[in-house]
């Protein structure tokens, strides 16, 4: 099945239009494995060689769906410096995934950014076509020594990632100055994982990492961010300057009522002083129309708020709350399907969460 | 090949997460073909029963790629009114297309908007899975009589489209007040056609249709908007209050030099008084890095500008020009792949083009 599937995918992805650099270069390339360069956003608790988000032995303690999604490389970044005039990316996926509400680029592809002297600036997206991929993402660069960052696939497990540069060029780890000092762990749903960003760099933890110079850790699990206690243990074992809990969309109102307080208490036991930011669910767009969904989303947020109020009553310090009100704007155009944010929504959400983080990280 | 392909696509599109309404309703539904409701954005010159953008006999006069893409339903809209508490959409596609830089939702799916008393407000997206599709897009509505609009697939040929409502509900054409009086024809590239909007309603001609209450006609042809003379004839045969020419990205600088002036002169012969808005190409994001691409995009826009200057010198009236400068903002985050706009880019482009249109339509 597998070979036929990848061949077929290759066929159906044949471009109607081309955006990537045409690979007509005569230059020879040399490669380094991403593990030999600078990795960011991969928890230090993860010892697996893969680009996983929860360490293999811990995956038996979490729901099966979480264990599977933990192998997706969402939020993991590779940094390096080179003076090459062209950059290639090679990567292998465990499975080529397809979803009706995401682009193959976001699910299985890579995003390249370059440091322009002031900011991380978008350079190009590497086009995925099959399980094994190779793409000349940019050529005709000016040949200056520069730092680059690659965001890994959001909804697939990257097994191998290699960076290729011209044989005569340098290719080294990032300088210390290019490694963010502050760490933020974000736990949540598909929205945190990055559905429906247009490409990996537009998931909101990725936007925050660039805009606020943070090492963000994406612990978003599609449909599965439901505050089971083992997840509090996993979060608490990770170093963080702030924890963001964006885990209201998946659990039922009853589950939130039952789980939110014990989850946060457990996290607090492990990390007595780290600020925790609780984020309400975005008000789903279809809930403006579907009267039943309206009730459910409202109740989910109410139960999360009650948990916050109870913990504040119990004198919990360093606990902060971000209500749904302005999270994704008011023009109703921030989602792809009523639930999952497009780049418009992620830009707005990153702005709101970012404002809180700036205060907490002062 | 076809049945196997659609079965396979069905399998690989099995949702990791669900956003559409679950179809557990007991209610019986009745259907009307979209052709019996109110169609907008389909040129009056098109007599084919399909949702095509150029009439069949005329397709032999245009390049083969344009003829093929003209069968894609980009920009065509269905309006209706109903008091149903649930809405289903059924649609058949000639081919289920897949692209690495677009969502299946945008390529093959439908978008539902509802009139909220002030604006067209997003309701839901219909999920495409195969050649034949049926989706309960919204349920538990309040049962008020209301107008709705459906945007058809951007990169596939919709062959049949049916709207379904509860058997006891009304389902009628739109009232005259809900039909825009002004018509704008937009001719261009993949950007005009709608790559890489997240869903059909976020292509910029669709955004303009809602925000400015226009009947927009999407004549965007992916990779193929190159100003051949027969296209000027086709545009000139369509009624329009303004023509927008967003056709710089595809032709080479040499082609623009050769074609732009004769193309606009031909259009002017057919429509002596209709305002024409010439829009420069967005400055492609990868052209900030790739020194060769930088030269090409710059030259494309320069040649278009020269054409404008020449025509103004020749005393052409009602000719307007929108330079690339602020079209997609300056944060470099408006594209999916350096060339094609995400919803962020389309929102910005619609704003800039919209400001010009408002002046021209006064």
Q: Is B267 helix (H, G, I), strand (E, B) or coil?
A: helix
Q: Looking at chain A from residue 132 to 151, which residues have their Cβ under 8 Å from any Cβ of chain B?
A: 138-142
Which residue of chain A has the CA closest to B85?
A290
Domains of chain A: 27-177 (2.60.120.260), 179-360 (3.40.50.1110)
The answer to whether B64 faces chain A, any CB pair under 8 Å, is no
B18, pLDDT greater than 50: no
Query: What's the gap in Å between the CA of A320 and the closest CA on chain B?
Result: 29
Q: Do A15 and B102 touch (CB under 8 A)?
A: no
| pLDDT score for A216 | 98
For A324-341, give one letter per residue: b (16+ CB within 10 A) or e. beebbeeebbbbbbbbbb
Q: Do B99 and A104 touch (CB under 8 A)?
A: yes
From chain B, the residues in CB contact with A8 under 8 A are 5, 8
| pLDDT score for B17 | 39
Q: Looking at chain B from residue 187 to 226, which residues have their Cβ under 8 Å from any Cβ of chain A?
A: 190, 195-196, 198-199, 202, 222-223
Candidates B264, B259, B256; CA nearest to B296 is B256
Interface test with A, best of B85, B87, B103 (most A CBs within 10 A): B103
Residue A152 to residues A89, A200, B215, Cα–Cα distance (Å): 11, 6, 41
Measured between CB atoms, which of B16, B127, B343 is closest to A223?
B16
Q: Looking at chain B from residue 75 to 114, which residues have their Cβ under 8 Å from any Cβ of chain A?
A: 97-105, 109, 114
| pLDDT score for A27 | 86
| pLDDT score for B123 | 98
C-beta separation of A113 from A182 below 8 A:
no
| pLDDT score for A10 | 40
pLDDT in tens, chain A (362 residues): 333 444 444 434 444 334 444 456 678 999 999 999 999 999 999 999 999 999 999 999 999 999 999 999 999 999 999 999 999 999 999 999 999 999 999 999 999 999 999 999 999 999 999 999 999 999 999 999 999 999 999 999 999 999 999 999 999 999 999 999 999 999 999 999 999 999 999 999 999 999 999 999 999 999 999 999 999 999 999 999 999 999 999 999 999 999 999 999 999 999 999 999 999 999 999 999 999 999 999 999 999 999 999 999 999 999 999 999 999 999 999 999 999 999 999 999 999 999 999 999 99
Q: Is B118 helix (H, G, I), strand (E, B) or coil?
A: coil
Measured between CB atoms, which of B105, B124, B140 is closest to A100?
B105
So what's the ipTM on this one?
Answer: 0.94
């Amino acid at each position: 099945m597998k070979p036929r599937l990848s061949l077929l995918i290759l066929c159906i992805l044949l471009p109607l239009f081309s955006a990537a650099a045409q690979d007509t270069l005569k230059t020879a390339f040399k490669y380094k494995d991403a593990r030999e360069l600078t990795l960011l956003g991969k928890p230090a608790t993860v010892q697996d060689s893969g680009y996983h988000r929860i360490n293999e032995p811990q995956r038996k303690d979490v729901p099966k769906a979480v264990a599977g999604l933990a192998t997706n490389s969402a939020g993991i970044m590779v940094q390096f410096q080179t003076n090459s005039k062209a950059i290639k990316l090679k990567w292998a996926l465990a499975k080529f995934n397809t979803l009706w509400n995401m682009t193959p680029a976001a699910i299985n592809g890579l995003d390249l950014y370059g440091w322009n002297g002031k900011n991380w600036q978008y350079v190009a997206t590497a086009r995925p076509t099959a399980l094994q991929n190779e793409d000349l993402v940019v050529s005709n660069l000016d040949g200056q020594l520069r730092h680059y960052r690659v965001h890994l696939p959001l909804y697939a497990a990257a097994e191998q990632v290699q960076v290729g540069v011209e044989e005569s060029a340098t290719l080294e780890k990032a300088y210390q100055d290019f490694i963010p000092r502050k760490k933020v762990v974000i736990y949540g749903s598909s929205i945190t994982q990055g559905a429906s960003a247009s490409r990996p760099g537009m998931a909101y933890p990725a936007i925050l990492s660039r805009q606020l110079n943070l090492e963000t850790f994406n612990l978003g699990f599609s449909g599965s961010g439901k505050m089971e206690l083992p997840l509090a243990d996993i979060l608490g074992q990770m170093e963080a300057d702030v924890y963001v809990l964006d885990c209201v969309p998946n659990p039922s109102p009853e589950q939130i009522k039952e789980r939110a307080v014990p989850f946060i208490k457990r996290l607090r036991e492990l990390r007595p002083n780290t600020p925790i930011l609780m984020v309400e669910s975005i008000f789903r767009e279809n809930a403006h129309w579907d009267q039943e969904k309206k009730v459910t989303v409202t109740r989910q947020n109410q139960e999360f708020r009650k948990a916050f109020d109870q913990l504040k009553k119990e004198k919990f310090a360093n606990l902060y709350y971000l209500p749904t009100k302005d999270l994704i704007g008011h023009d109703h155009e921030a989602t792809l399907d009523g639930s999952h944010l497009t780049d418009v929504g992620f830009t707005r959400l990153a702005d709101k969460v970012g404002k809180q983080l700036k205060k907490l990280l002062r």
